[in-house]
Structure 1
Amino acid sequence: MSGIVESAGTETARGLPGGQEGTARPAGDPGQRQTVRRALLDAALEVFTERGYTDAGLTEIAARSGIPVGSLFQHYGGKRGLYLALWEEFREGQERRTEATLTSERGRGVDDPVALFAAGARAYLEGAWDNRRLGGLLAEDDGPSGFDALRRQWDRAWVRRNARLLQVDERRRAGRVRVSVLTTVIGGAARELADCGDETEAREIVDEVCGILLHLSTPPR
């Protein structure tokens, strides 16, 4: 996995206090299950975006998806499971995107840690723009109980992996702080992109932030 967005181990919905809400393994054809799950996630994203997580209703999500509420519970266990599945989808998509970019850059012979970090950051930010509606939802404070703790754990792992990508000695406080600042810049820019409605402005933001990252990530002489 890339240093930019690698996940915090194998934590999933089960990592939340109380676990996921009684999810049973649904029966049926795998293709049909995938279709049902996609419809439920798309509807959940619409309702969560419009009403927020707290005020979102399962009945409305089921109605918009055209899937019975009972099937919703069978596939996702409830509202928490839907939210966490959306988060996993966003996170894993970002990981695949940045990993593919770093693999391509290394295949071209790029081995400079700063250049690789900047390329991975650009891929991450472009992904944040392409998936801005989902990214904007996940950046809000309105999520399931315990999600903030899970997100902080992932953020800490993100910093550690960025440190490895940049070949920073984590035993040195100055190095840790520098990587933490760089990671915070990427996260903050991703949130700005979620609120940006103009593609030209979004590209300008990505270029500006990548320039800042290149400057900040160059080790002091």
Structure 2
Amino acid sequence: MTEATGSKRAQATRAALLSAAGEVFTAAGYERASMAMIAERAGASIGSLYHHFAAKSDLYITVYNEYNRRQQHRSAKAFRTALAAGEEDALRLYIAGARAYLEGCWQERKLARLFLSGNGPAGFGLLSRERFREWLTANATLVNGHTRPLSDMLVLSLTAMSTEAGREVADAPSKAEATRMIDEVLELMGRLYPSS
């Protein structure tokens, strides 16, 4: 076997383990989930699981970080698309990114519910607060190079609204209801800083 083949196999195994971990954590919760359950779901050996992840907490944090990476990618892509279409208003750009984030909460609702509940390993609450601060800084950086810059407190309020709305969207009973919630919260955001 070549090194490239081994690397591809290791990447595929890691991806399968992360996918299985997401399924097990969302079904059982962090406390009841076990490494054996995750290995079984992935069709991998427990040794392979421990080769890639040191502990259940490491695996959970990795799944969380991957989810956040996808959410940030969705938001940044929507922001760039709005910018490329000629939008220059900071609030409208923020709202474009927020819509993508909230739609991601619906698309990945099981993971969103899990992570937004705050359930996780020791120290997860601190980690999620750190990620919130990072998200806040990224949002401020993205939008404030454009017309009508947003104050730090407005960015904080909008980001908190997005996070809380994400929790509700993830719990929506249907896509139609999730879409209604998204539209309503974005309309409310627009009222916080009306067009001049």
Task: Name the TM tier (shorter chain).
Answer: 0.7 to 0.9
Deviation at 1:166, TM superposition (A): 4.2
**Equivalent of 1:195, from 171, 175, 184?**
171
Matched, 1:70 2:44: no
Question: Whole-Å Cα distance in 2 between the matches of residues 69 and 99 of structure 1?
Answer: 37
Question: Whole-Å Cα distance in 1 between the matches of residues 47 and 194 of structure 2?
Answer: 54
Which stretch of the first structure deviates more once superposed, 72-81 or 29-38?
A: 29-38
Deviations 1:21-71 (A, max 9, x none): xxxxxx962221122112212221222112211121111111121111111
Deviation at 1:157, TM superposition (A): 2.5
| Alignment TM-score, normalising by the size of structure 2 | 0.88
Q: Which structure shows the bigger proportion of residues in helix conformation?
A: 2
Q: Which has the higher contact order (CA 8 A, sep 6+)?
A: 1
Identity %: 37
Question: Whole-Å Cα distance in 2 between the matches of residues 218 and 152 of structure 1?
Answer: 29
Question: Whole-Å Cα distance in 1 between the matches of residues 87 and 167 of structure 2?
Answer: 29
Which runs of 5 or more structure 1 residues have no equivalent in the other structure? 1-26, 169-173
Q: What is residue 41 of structure 1 aligned with on the other side?
A: 18
Deviation at 1:96, TM superposition (A): 1.2
RMSD: 2.1
**Equivalent of 1:183, from 159, 166, 182?**
159
Question: Whole-Å Cα distance in 2 between the matches of residues 164 and 42 of structure 1?
Answer: 32
Question: Whole-Å Cα distance in 1 between the matches of residues 5 and 56 of structure 2?
Answer: 22
Report the number of matched residues.
189
Question: Whole-Å Cα distance in 2 between the matches of residues 141 and 162 of structure 1?
Answer: 22
Question: Whole-Å Cα distance in 2 between the matches of residues 28 and 149 of structure 1?
Answer: 39
Kindly report which structure 2 residues correspond to 1:131-170, keeping only aligned pairs within 5 A, or say none: 131-167=108-144
Deviations 1:185-211 (A, max 9, x none): 100011111112301101111111110
Alignment CA distance shift 1:186-1:217 (3 Å): farther
